[in-house]
């Protein structure tokens, strides 16, 4: 009989450890309902009909042909800083920009040689 009580006590201890681990890894409650700040990227001059892929950090924002100008893309604001990569399929080139958190839109244009530049 004492053996059965020992097994039952051990089973309750294991169950308690599983419940504590579950609550620790998966906390209850609702996530914050605050809408994250939005970050806007404007493709302004020279991008019409270009086939581009726009990537911010590890998420693809756009992959296709730009139908009109100015073309606006939105994403969540990077927490500290991020990397914006724009791949041009026709030229087989990638432009890389560092993004700082801030409220201003990121404006891009193409120069006469087809290089992607930040508009000040």
Residue pLDDT, tens place only, 34-93 = 555 777 888 888 888 888 999 988 888 888 888 888 888 888 776 677 888 898 888 888
Give the model's pLDDT for residue 9.
93
Question: Would the CA dihedral through 36, 70, 88, 96 be positive or negative?
Answer: negative
Q: Whose CA is closest to 45, among 71, 64, 63, 75?
A: 71
Q: Taking the model in full, what pTM does it have? A: 0.62
Lowest mean pLDDT among 8-12, 17-21, 28-32, 97-101: 28-32
* Domains of the chain by start residue, with CATH: 38-118 (2.60.40)
Contacts of 74 (CB under 8 A, 6+ apart): 38, 39, 40, 41
Give the model's pLDDT for residue 17.
95
Give the model's pLDDT for residue 93.
87
The mean pLDDT value of the chain amounts to 83
């Amino acid at each position: 009989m004492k053996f059965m009580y020992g097994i039952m006590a051990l089973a309750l201890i294991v169950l308690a450890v599983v419940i504590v681990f579950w609550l620790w890894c998966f906390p209850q409650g609702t996530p914050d309902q605050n809408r994250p700040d939005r970050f806007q990227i404007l493709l302004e001059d020279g991008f019409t009909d270009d086939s581009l892929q726009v990537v911010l950090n590890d998420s693809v924002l756009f992959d296709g042909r730009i139908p009109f100008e100015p073309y606006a893309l939105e994403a969540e604001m990077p927490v500290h800083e991020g990397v914006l990569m724009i791949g041009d399929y026709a030229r087989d080139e990638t432009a890389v920009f560092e993004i700082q958190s801030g409220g201003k839109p990121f404006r891009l244009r193409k120069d006469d040689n087809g290089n992607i530049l930040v508009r000040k």
